Structure 1
Amino acid sequence: MTTYEQFVDPWRRRVDSADWGGITAEIDDMGGALLPRLLSDEETQDIRTLYVDDRLFRSTIDMARHRFGQGEYKYFHSPYPEPVERLEQALYPHLLPIARDWWSRLGRTAPWPDTLDEWRDQCHEAGQRKSTAILLRYGAGDWNALHRDLYGDLVFPLQVVINLNDPGIDHTGGEFLLVEQRPRAQSRGSSFTVPRGHGYLFTTRDRPVKSARGWSVAAMRHGVSTVRSGERHTLGLVFHDAV
């Protein structure tokens, strides 16, 4: 049954309606999983148009200057625009059980509290006070080097990227990339085309993988392949703040 809260919060309704059992199985297997449509066409267009309003952002990063690849991205100021904040708040309760289960398999103590607001407070108390939601813009020839979004000692092990354009129509190329390094094994690379408005859930830093000795840590990095034509915008949701 649809609650009043879900009625007035379409982003929570979309998140809650996802097959979280299937998503959990997929990210356990691959380190990443496609999410359902989280933003409508109109909402993706509205968020794309925010890019030119510098009042909404705390920092602009020229990727080539920092040797991160080629392209540009901006960190939103906090508080975030409504769709961004609502999506983070809706996603966190579904991601939390996955994160805690991963840490349990690895024999680690999970530090994440029950709510996103409490987790943000922990980040702030540890000196990680800078907002981390990202709006990225790529043009033809742009790409994003393999990396991890680590901004301090406190890290949430899962994050989400949402495509704001139509692949194959607004741009070609620009596939989302994941590379996994398993212990004593060669790296495994995967590429994914994320439909417009859909999210992609992936590993921030490392995750548990089954081994002959039980559970081992597999390091993960992510990036974006070269955009061959057109323009590609994405919204990145990172669930820990930055130093």
Structure 2
Amino acid sequence: MTHLAAPLERLDWHTIGLTLDREGFIVLPGMFALEVPGLFTHLLNGFYPPLAQVSNQWNDILQLPYRFPPQLTDLHAQCRAVGQQHALPQLTCLRKDEQQALRQDAEGEHVFPFQLVGVLSAPGEDFTGGEFILTEQRPRMQSRPMVVPLQRGDLAIITTAYRPFKGSKGNYRVNMKHAISRVRSGERHGFLLSFHLCPGAAHD
């Protein structure tokens, strides 16, 4: 029995992989239910294996030797072995006039290329503004902003820090960051889940 609103085995991972290759993110509508116990754990454990395959394909394209292990517990063991001991913050709460600046969650030797994003309150009802935004920076080009359209229950897979891009002279890394725009009214509750652990002090 699945613990998610939409079973993972019904997802079209071929199309998901192609969209991640092309855009660096994808939104999966109605993917989770708020009342699911241990929701974050189920999302991380469920999405890691197929996303590890996409991640290894990206490393192949970029000619990087590292390969992500098939299970999340193995990745965490590798993280701890190099001093990455702590989970990154998962919940976000932004009130009127608050925002989250552009950032990357890419500290440490082992950084998983994908993160999971969702909102726990209803856009347009519980809050206005607070759009989730990705920026993409290609060499010698202006940054490209992209709004990730999220409703409560939707799940977005986003790029953590960089993705492969095929240019005229071959494949290279495209740098990506994420942010949340200013909340105009209400309170925006959401989450961002990282598969890898981070170095340094534990987060609240």
In the superposition, the TM-score normalised over structure 1's length comes to 0.77
Match of 1:99 in 2: 55
What does 1:1-243 align with in structure 2 at a 5 Å threshold? 7=1, 9-11=2-4, 14-43=7-36, 82-243=38-199
Paired amino acid for 1:20: W
Query: How far apart, CA to CA, are the structure 2 residues paired with 1:112 and 1:153?
Result: 12
**Deviation digits for residues 66-100 of structure 1 (CA, Å, limit 9, x no counterpart):** xxxxxxxxxxxxxxx72211110000012111111
Gaps of 5+ in 1: 1-6, 44-80
Cα distance, 1:38 vs structure 2: 2.7
Cα distance, 1:186 vs structure 2: 1.8
Matched position secondary structure for 2:158:
strand
Query: How far apart, CA to CA, are the structure 2 residues paired with 1:202 and 1:221?
Result: 10
Query: How far apart, CA to CA, are the structure 2 residues paired with 1:17 and 1:159?
Result: 20
The answer on whether the counterparts of 2:59 and 2:67 sit within 8 Å (CA) in structure 1 is: no
Paired amino acid for 1:207: R
The answer on whether the counterparts of 2:134 and 2:178 sit within 8 Å (CA) in structure 1 is: yes
Cα distance, 1:184 vs structure 2: 2.3
Gaps of 5+ in 2: 200-204
Query: How far apart, CA to CA, are the structure 2 residues paired with 1:166 and 1:178?
Result: 20
RMSD after superposition? 1.6
Matched position secondary structure for 1:112:
coil
Cα distance, 1:165 vs structure 2: 1.3
Alignment size in residue pairs: 199
* Higher RCO structure (Cα 8 Å, ≥6 apart): 2
Paired amino acid for 1:88: L
Cα distance, 1:41 vs structure 2: 4.5
Structure 1: which 4+ aligned runs deviate by more than 3 Å?
none
